[in-house]
Amino acid sequence: MQLPRRILAAAAAVLATVCLAAASPAVSYVNPLIPQRADPHISKQSDGYYYFTATVPEYDRIILRRAQTIQALASAPETTIWRRKASGVGSGQVWAPELHAIDGKWYIYVALGVSGQWKIRASVLEGTGTNPLTASWTEKGVIKTNWDTFSLDATTFVANGTRYLVWAQQEPSRSDENSSLLIAALQNPWTLRLPAVAISRPTLAWERVGYKVNEGPAVLQRNGALFLTYSASATDANYCMGLLTASLNSDLLNPASWTKSPTPILTSNAATSQFGPGHNSFVVAEDGQTDLLVYHDRGYRDIKGDPLNDPNRRTRVQKLYWGADGKPEFGVPVADGETPVRLRAAAGGFVRYDNGTGASGWLPETLFRVVKPGLAGGTTVSLEPGSNPGVFLSRGQGRAVQFVRNGTGGSAAAASFERRAGLGDAGGVSFEAVDVKGEYLRLEVGGKVAVAGVGKGEEGLATFFLE
């Protein structure tokens, strides 16, 4: 396998950038996790299992899977716990189920429609039994809200001892918009303490492409704050994610407590071939500390006909990073295949891909896929920027490194390394050059990265921790 001699851009370089973000272990999953499953919800319950539910393309049933690891959900048997009814509520669309354990019982929040009508309402099912896949399920009915209008995508969380429900609904006074986000405290898992209040409406341009939508809320509590993600616009390549933030100690029923980010936090990305990311959930990885982002998207941009009739939204998972300011960093929807990692140097800073065009924002520039086998084959690995698949870190002129695209000409060995135990810390890793034994990927004075020898006392400059 060969590589071209040219650098992708004259300004291309590898840099180490200092970052004070909290460290957390790397994760390894293969995307897409589950094909043809939209609006994915993964949760870890007290029995130690991960549970998965999602919208199926037929919109006719509620399914559950469970496994002891997230990756194992991909091949776990699927159980149908509820099917579309012959008439009434539940005889039409079945959308976006979520599984929650509340006070010793199971609850599924789901949007149910009526056959032949565009009449979709957020509804609740209650399950009794230790295992939700075999539990006895009963319908608790439609959730009564301020109005009897289009409603969907209910999710629940507890903050400061109070359980809340957040959902999407059309407000009668804003009939030109499809849905806003509303919140209310819960009296019990299927009854709200009304009135509910709207905390977000599709007022920004990127929330109004195709349809004027705020939907699919998900809540994560960290660092004294509530981070509420949601999805916006039509369910095609324009679908994207937004973010609301509130202090954990604020009045969550006061719309003024919530601040909306002015730009979307996750959008389609042509470089990684991911389109229409959204309707996410959050879950903690098997290590018990790493936050994960679960969402759906498609692997292509163009859709024929109504996007809701396209069956190929698929479930994906990637690591959620945290900035030095305590806020989540979403980056880009990563390419299909194994999830990328960051390379944090023992001496401080991260290896960074920066050519001024191939990455947007700080996080995407520091994500790399450790490709196995590497371009030289065998036991080697190659380092591929997460924001620009098909490009690889390679030895350049002298000690310098460059990024080159997989192709013809040049040397595959120059873009391949042997992964070793960390020279400065066996808990880390070092990357020894294939073309020149004894030389390693390492930091230089001033923060640049090189491929060169490592002198005594410099071992920490060539040792990296995967995050």
Condensed to tens digits (0 to 9), the pLDDT of residues 365-412 reads 889 999 999 999 999 999 999 988 999 999 888 888 888 887 544 589
What is the predicted pLDDT for the residue at 399? 84
376: left (phi over 0), alpha (psi -120 to 50) or beta: alpha
What is the predicted pLDDT for the residue at 408? 42
Q: Which whole-number Å values give the CA distances from 185 to 44, 102, 179, 231, 432, in the listed order? A: 23, 14, 20, 22, 56
Which structure tokens are listed for 394?
Answer: 């390679």
Residue 466: how many CB atoms within 10 A of its CB?
Answer: 16
- Give yes or no for a contact between 284 and 302, defined as CB atoms under 8 angstroms apart: no
What CA dihedral angle connects 266, 314, 94 and 303, to 10 degrees?
80
pTM metric for this prediction: 0.93
| Confidence class for position 61, pLDDT limits 50, 70, 90 | very high
Q: What is the DSSP secondary structure assignment for residue 274, as one 8-state letter?
A: B
Residue partners of 309: CB distance under 8 A and separation at least 6: none
Lowest mean pLDDT of 251-260, 282-291, 448-457, name the range: 448-457
What length is written for the chain?
467
- Give yes or no for a contact between 434 and 418, defined as CB atoms under 8 angstroms apart: yes
What is the predicted pLDDT for the residue at 410? 55
* Helix and strand numbers, DSSP H then E, in the chain: 1, 35
Nearest residue to 317 via CA among 292, 289, 342: 292
On average, the pLDDT of the chain sits at 92
**Phi then psi for 461, rounded to 5 degrees?**
-75, -15
Return the CATH number of the domain spanning residue range 13-20+341-466: 2.80.10.50
What is the predicted pLDDT for the residue at 448? 80
What is the predicted pLDDT for the residue at 22? 54
Lowest mean pLDDT of 154-168, 309-323, 405-419, name the range: 405-419
Tell me if residue 387 falls in helix, strand or coil.
coil
Tokens 């019990």 locate to 188
pLDDT exceeding 90 applies to what percent of the chain? 84
| Confidence class for position 152, pLDDT limits 50, 70, 90 | very high
Nearest residue to 231 via CA among 37, 112, 96: 96
Listed by start position, the domains of the chain span 13-20+341-466, 31-334
**CA 462 to CA 441: how far, in whole Å?**
6
**CA 407 to CA 391: how far, in whole Å?**
10
Pairing relation of β-strands 321-322 and 328-329?
antiparallel
**CA 452 to CA 449: how far, in whole Å?**
9
- Give yes or no for a contact between 362 and 53, defined as CB atoms under 8 angstroms apart: no
pLDDT above 50 for 8: no
Cα 236 off chain centre by: 17
pLDDT above 60 for 19: no
Nearest residue to 99 via CA among 71, 75, 135, 72: 135
pLDDT above 60 for 260: yes
Nearest residue to 72 via CA among 95, 48, 56, 96: 48
Judge if 13-20+341-466 and 31-334 fold alike in CATH terms: no
Cα 431 off chain centre by: 28
Lowest mean pLDDT of 5-14, 226-235, 243-252, 342-351, name the range: 5-14
**Phi then psi for 463, rounded to 5 degrees?**
-115, 135
Mean per-residue pLDDT, 240-266: 99
Q: Which whole-number Å values give the CA distances from 309 to 58, 299, 304, in the listed order? A: 9, 16, 9
112: left (phi over 0), alpha (psi -120 to 50) or beta: beta
Beta bridge partners of 148: none
**CA 319 to CA 339: how far, in whole Å?**
8
Query: Is the Cα dihedral 16, 20, 25, 29 positive or negative?
Result: negative
What is the predicted pLDDT for the residue at 348? 81
Q: Which residues are catalytic?
A: 39, 215
Domain 31-334 annotated CATH 3.40.50.1110 = no
Biggest CA pair distance of the chain:
77
What is the predicted pLDDT for the residue at 407? 53
**CA 287 to CA 422: how far, in whole Å?**
22
**CA 272 to CA 86: how far, in whole Å?**
43
pLDDT, tens digit, 9 for 90 and up, residues 311-368: 999 999 999 999 989 999 999 999 999 999 999 988 887 888 864 323 334 788 889 9
Which structure tokens are listed for 352?
Answer: 């960074």
**Phi then psi for 73, rounded to 5 degrees?**
-60, -25
pLDDT above 60 for 286: yes
What is the predicted pLDDT for the residue at 458? 92
What is the predicted pLDDT for the residue at 24? 82
What CA dihedral angle connects 396, 397, 398 and 403, to 10 degrees?
-20
pLDDT above 90 for 21: no
